[in-house]
């Protein structure tokens, strides 16, 4: 499993959003109203409606008539409402009308059934027969047993077959998923096991944790594992944004890995060449620092990563800090990749500096060396991480390659 540089922005952004979701989930919240829609709701239905001072029940009936629905409703309330819309989506108007309470709206064809979440659903067969005026009744879909809720797991839990939940956030705990997750699964330092009956409608993300996906599991979004472990069945078909072993063990898999490494090395040379062309003195200052004190640079790199993680966690504690955390994360990824482009420059100078004085030749030879090293299973990933820490530490030691000026008092001393 490899975290390639081109997947860093998406993975870090997803990690930041998941951290924000975790913080929000742990904060005390008040109950919020929502309309739960089941069944197929076309998006091209648009209505024009004018209702003033009518009870909400009457307004919903007027909406159903304008949208040509067969309506079965209960418990809508008699609150007076004013509606004046022109060529608007029918489902959106329905959500606005029912926005003050929790309701379930089920649909089968043009048959619509609306009722509160808490009361037991009406008898579907009799309701459908009355609404359609037909001799043959048509049963409406079964109503859910309760409100779909998010799960924040700090211990050990199981989502049983047939159970439906919202987002699942695992914080140093474990979860076994056999049912349906309407949102995403995010794992922080814990473990998640998705069995063959599991269905995740959005993404699956793990940071410093472990994922296990059995054959038969379905994930509509993407799967990401950052600094963690992921195991999959040999027939699992998922979109993995942070790994390159989709067809591991086959000729196609090795060809894909080779092509990805080659593309990464080529991009590394292109960006590095641009840096040499427009900022050669700054690049040389970073190279000198990396070659003069490599262990010190790696140590500083570890400190930079830990400090950045602490800053991001601090920012996402407050709502106002979440957008800033996203910006800081994206800027850090960009700065880190630009710094990583100096790794082949330093390697080329160290290994082949006696044969040429051309910095572009050093860069090209370093990219070639790095390309072949990254093809070695296991060792390539480890050396890539060490190289990234090496570059981040040198970037910090040179104050952003000289972009941050030294304080006057320090400079004079």
| Mean pLDDT in residue range 149-155 | 86
3-state secondary structure the chain: CCCCHHHHHHHHHHHHHHHHHHHHHHCCCCCCCCEEEECCCCCCCEEEEEEEEEEHHHHHHHHHHHHCCEEEECCCCCCEEEEEEEEEEHHHHHHHHCCCCCEEEEEECCEEEEEECCCCCCCHHHHHHHHHCCCCCCCCCCCCCCCCCCEEECCEEEECCCCEECCEEEECCEEEECCEECCCEEEECCEEEECCCCEECCCEEEECCEEEECCCCEECCEEEEECCEEEECCCCCCEECCCCCCCCCCHHHHHHHHHHHHHHHHHHHHHHHHHHHHCHHHHHHHHHHHHHCHHHHHHHHHHHHHHHHHHHHHHCCCCCHHHHHHHHHHHHHHHHHHHHCHHHHHHHHHHHCCCCCCHHHHHHHHHHHHHHHHCCCCHHHHHHHHHHHHHHHHHHHCCCCCCCCCCHHHHHC
Q: Indicate if the pLDDT at residue 154 is higher than 60.
A: yes
Does residue 172 or residue 62 have the better pLDDT?
62
pLDDT tier, 324 (very low <50, low <70, confident <90, very high otherwise): confident
Q: Indicate if the pLDDT at residue 249 is higher than 50.
A: no
Which pLDDT value is given to residue 159? 92
Q: Is the pTM of this model over 0.75?
A: no
User: Lowest-pLDDT range, 20-29, 98-107, 304-313, 316-325?
Assistant: 20-29
Q: Indicate if the pLDDT at residue 304 is higher than 50.
A: yes
**Domain architecture of the chain: domains with CATH:** 41-132 (3.55.50.30), 148-240 (no CATH), 250-397 (no CATH)
């Amino acid at each position: 499993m490899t975290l390639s540089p081109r997947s860093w922005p998406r993975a870090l952004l997803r990690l930041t959003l998941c951290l924000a979701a975790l913080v929000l989930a742990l904060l005390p919240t008040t109950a919020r109203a929502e309309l739960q829609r089941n069944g197929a709701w076309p998006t091209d239905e648009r209505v024009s409606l004018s209702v003033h001072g009518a009870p909400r029940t009457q307004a919903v009936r007027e909406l159903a008539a304008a949208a040509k629905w067969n309506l079965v409703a209960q418990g809508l309330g008699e609150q007076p409402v004013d509606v004046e819309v022109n060529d608007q989506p029918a489902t959106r108007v329905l959500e606005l009308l029912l926005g003050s309470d929790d309701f379930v709206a089920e649909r089968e064809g043009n048959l619509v059934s609306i009722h509160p979440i808490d009361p037991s659903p009406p008898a579907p067969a009799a309701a459908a027969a009355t609404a359609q005026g037909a001799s043959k009744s048509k049963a409406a879909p079964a109503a859910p047993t309760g409100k779909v809720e998010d799960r924040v797991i700090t211990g050990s839990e199981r989502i049983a077959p047939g159970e439906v939940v919202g987002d699942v956030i695992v914080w140093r705990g474990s979860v076994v998923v056999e049912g349906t997750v309407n949102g995403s699964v995010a794992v922080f330092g814990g473990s998640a096991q998705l069995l063959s009956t599991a269905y995740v409608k959005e993404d699956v993300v793990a940071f410093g944790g472990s994922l296990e996906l059995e054959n038969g599991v379905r994930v509509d979004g993407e799967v990401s594992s950052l600094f963690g472990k992921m195991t999959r069945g040999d027939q699992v078909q998922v979109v993995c944004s942070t790994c390159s072993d989709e067809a591991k063990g086959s000729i196609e898999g090795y060809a894909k890995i080779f092509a990805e490494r080659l593309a990464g090395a080529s991009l590394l040379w292109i960006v590095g060449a641009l840096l040499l062309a427009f900022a050669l003195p700054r690049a040389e200052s970073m190279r000198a620092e990396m070659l003069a004190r490599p262990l010190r640079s790696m140590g500083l790199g570890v400190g930079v990563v830990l400090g950045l993680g602490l800053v991001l966690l601090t920012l996402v504690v407050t709502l106002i800090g979440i957008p800033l955390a996203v910006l800081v994360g994206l800027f850090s990824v960009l700065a880190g990749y630009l710094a990583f482009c100096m790794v082949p420059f330093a390697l080329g100078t160290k290994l082949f500096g006696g044969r040429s004085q051309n910095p572009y030749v050093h860069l090209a030879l370093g990219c070639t060396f790095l390309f072949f090293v990254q093809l070695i299973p296991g060792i390539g990933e480890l050396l890539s991480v060490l190289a990234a820490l090496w570059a981040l530490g040198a970037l910090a030691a040179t104050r952003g390659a000289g972009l941050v000026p030294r304080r006057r008092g320090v400079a004079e001393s």
